[in-house]
Structure 1
C-alpha cells in the first residue's frame, strides 16, 4: 500500500536517512522515497499508517495530519 506523509523538519541528507531508517525499523521491506523540497515522504508498506507516522515522529520530525 502506498502512503504519503507531509513531514516537516527535514533539512539535509542525514534527516532523510534518519526518517528512512525509522520506517525500516517498522518494516524492513518498505520502499521509501523522500522529496525534501516538498516535505513529502512516500512509503510503500503494508504497515498501518499510524505505526509509520509514529516512527517518524519518534525520530523527531513533525507529521501533518
Structure 2
C-alpha cells in the first residue's frame, strides 16, 4: 500500500533524513520517499497506516503533517 503525506518545516537534507528515519521505524513500513521541495512523503507499507502514528513519527523528527 502507498500513502502520501505532506510535511511542513523541512528545509534541508538533514530534515529529509530525520523524517525518513522516524517514519521507516513504523511497523509494516517498507519504503519511504521524501521530496524536500514539495514536502511530499510517500510511504509504502504492508498494511494501511494509522495517520496518527505517521503524525507522531513526523513530530518525533521535529516536523508536522500539513493539515
TM-score normalised to the size of structure 1? Answer: 0.83
Deviations 1:5-62 (A, max 9, x none): 1101111111111001101221374211111111111101223222122101121101
TM-score (norm: length of structure 2): 0.81
Unaligned segments of structure 1, at least 5 residues: none
| Aligned CA-pair RMSD | 1.6
**Which structure: greater helix fraction?**
1
Q: Which runs of 5+ in 2 are unaligned?
A: none
